Amino acid sequence: METKHITCTVCPRGCAITATKDGDVITVEGASCDRGRAYAKEEMTCPKRMLTTTCKVSPALSEKMKLLPVRSAAPVPKALLFDIMEVCREVTVEKKVSIGDTVIPNVLDTGVDIIAAAAL
């Protein structure tokens, strides 16, 4: 049996949630809404986080901006954060981008794009 004490981040209430996993059964206490219960269950099975990092910018594209801030378009599995950052470390942006443009599509087959958080 595994128990986690979680502060819910889905809304401003910040409910103190206790989630317990016993085999395939997950029990959630302290959540005041369905979204909080879903969040706690996700935290017990496959926690996800938004990722913010940078990608290199080609010197031919910009002499001033050496790194482009990027982020995930949606939460990605927490277990893949460092692997995704490694992919971002290897990418060099070679063309002008606007905020929200895809820099890395479907990173590591997660179904989530890495997008520009600034314009070049």
Give the model confidence (pLDDT) of 53-101 as tens digits: 999 999 998 888 999 999 999 999 999 999 999 999 999 999 999 999 9
pLDDT at 39 over 90: yes
* Pairs from 54-60 (Cβ < 8 Å, separation ≥ 24): 54/88, 55/88, 55/89, 55/91, 55/92, 55/93, 55/103, 55/104, 55/114, 56/89, 56/91, 56/92, 56/93, 57/92, 57/93, 57/120, 58/92, 58/93, 58/94, 60/94
Q: Is the dihedral of CA 76, 84, 67, 93 positive or negative?
A: negative
Q: Which residues pair with 4 in a beta bridge?
A: 19
Task: Please give the pLDDT value at position 113.
Answer: 98
Average pLDDT over residues 49-54: 97
Split at pLDDT 50, 70, 90, the class of 28 is very high
Q: Which fold has domain 52-116?
A: CPE0013-like fold (3.10.530)
Q: Where are the domains of the chain?
A: 2-45, 52-116
pTM: 0.86
